[in-house]
């Protein structure tokens, strides 16, 4: 189970949160057409690695937060407010790689 550090409530169990989608995809402008909104909503990649995500703390403060989570290890790198610009950490060298 994930333990998510809510910026307002502190560390809580994953069961208090709901995943709300990919935070890396910019929303279309207000005057954009149905095709742009449809692509933003439904055409997503299922990427492996670090992912910037929206989560809603439904069992707590009911606020939206942004976090950076690794989709394989579920490690959480950063958590912030919706307006924060969060970045993934640099990828670690694969096991057995020569040091730089």
Residues that bind Zn ion (CB under 5 A): 6, 8-9, 57, 60-61
Closer to Zn ion by CB, 13 or 75: give it: 13
- Minimum gap (Å) between residue 22 Cβ and Zn ion: 21
Q: Which is nearer to Zn ion, 73 or 83 (CB)?
A: 83
DSSP string, 37-98: HHHHHH-----SSEEEEEEE-TTTT--EEEEEEETTT--EEEEE-TT----PPPPPPPTTPP
Please report how close the Cβ of residue 61 comes to Zn ion at its closest, in angstroms: 3
């Amino acid at each position: 189970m994930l333990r998510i550090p809510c910026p307002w409530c502190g560390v809580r169990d994953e069961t208090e949160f709901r995943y709300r989608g990919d935070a890396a995809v910019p929303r279309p402008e207000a005057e954009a057409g149905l095709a742009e909104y449809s692509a933003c909503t439904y055409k997503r990649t299922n990427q492996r690695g670090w992912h910037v995500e929206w989560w809603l703390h439904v069992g707590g403060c009911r606020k939206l937060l942004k976090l950076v989570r690794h989709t394989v290890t579920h490690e959480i790198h950063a958590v912030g407010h919706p307006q924060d610009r969060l970045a993934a950490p640099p990828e670690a060298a694969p096991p057995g790689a020569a040091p730089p």
